[in-house]
C-alpha cells in the first residue's frame, strides 16, 4: 500500500478544530483585556473630574472674603455632591497669643447612589486666614 502525497501535506479535521479553538480562546482573552483597559481608563477620567470639582469648590470657598462658620452642600452635577464645612480654629503662636480669623475648610465629595444612600469619593481641606483676602 502506498499513501498518496496529498494526504501527507493536508491538515486533518482535528488539527483544524484545535487551531480554531486556540484562536477563539485568544480572541476572547484579548477582547476581555481591552474591555478591562477601557473600564479602567473611564474610571480614571471620572476620578480626575471629581477631584477637579472638589478642588474648585475648595478654592471658591477658601477665597471667599466673607467666610463664615457653618456647613453647606454644593451639587456639582453628574450625581456628585460636595459637603463644605467651615470651622473657626483657636490657634496660638509661640508667644501664646491667639491667632484670630483662621478657619479650617473641609470639602467632602460624595456620589448619590439613589434613595438615601451615598458613596464617599474623596475629601480635601485647607487652613484659611480670612484677612488675607481683604475681609476686615
In this predicted model, what pLDDT tens digit does every residue of 108-123 receive, in sequence order?
998 888 777 888 889 9
Average pLDDT for the chain = 85
Answer yes or no: is pLDDT of 59 > 80.
yes
Mean pLDDT of the region 79-107: 88
- Other Cβ atoms less than 10 A from the Cβ of 105: the count is 21
For residue 122, is it within any domain? yes
Question: Which of 6-10, 41-45, 126-130 has the least mean pLDDT?
Answer: 6-10
For residue 109, is it within any domain? yes
Give the pTM.
0.66
For residue 42, is it within any domain? yes
Q: Hunting for cell 444612600 — which residue is that?
A: 117
Q: Give residue 4's pLDDT.
A: 57
Residue 21 belongs to what domain range? 10-133
Q: How far apart are CA 80 and CA 113, in angstroms?
A: 10
Please give the tally of structural domains in the chain. 1
For residue 30, is it within any domain? yes
For residue 1, is it within any domain? no
Q: How many Å separate Cα 131 from the centre of its chain? A: 33
Beta partners for 104? 87, 127
Residue pair 109/85 in contact (Cβ under 8 Å)? The answer is: no
Amino acid at each position: 500500500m502506498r499513501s498518496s502525497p496529498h494526504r501527507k501535506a493536508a491538515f486533518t479535521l482535528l488539527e483544524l478544530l484545535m487551531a480554531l479553538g486556540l484562536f477563539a480562546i485568544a480572541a476572547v482573552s484579548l477582547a476581555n483585556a481591552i474591555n478591562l483597559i477601557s473600564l479602567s481608563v473611564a474610571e480614571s477620567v471620572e476620578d480626575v473630574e471629581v477631584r477637579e470639582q472638589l478642588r474648585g469648590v475648595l478654592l471658591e470657598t477658601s477665597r471667599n472674603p466673607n467666610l463664615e462658620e457653618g456647613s453647606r452642600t454644593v451639587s456639582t452635577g453628574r450625581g456628585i455632591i460636595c459637603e463644605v464645612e467651615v470651622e473657626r480654629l483657636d490657634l496660638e503662636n509661640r508667644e501664646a497669643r491667639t491667632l484670630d480669623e483662621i478657619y479650617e475648610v473641609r470639602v467632602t465629595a460624595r456620589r448619590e447612589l439613589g434613595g438615601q444612600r451615598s458613596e464617599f469619593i474623596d475629601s480635601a481641606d485647607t487652613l484659611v486666614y480670612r484677612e488675607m483676602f481683604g475681609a476686615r
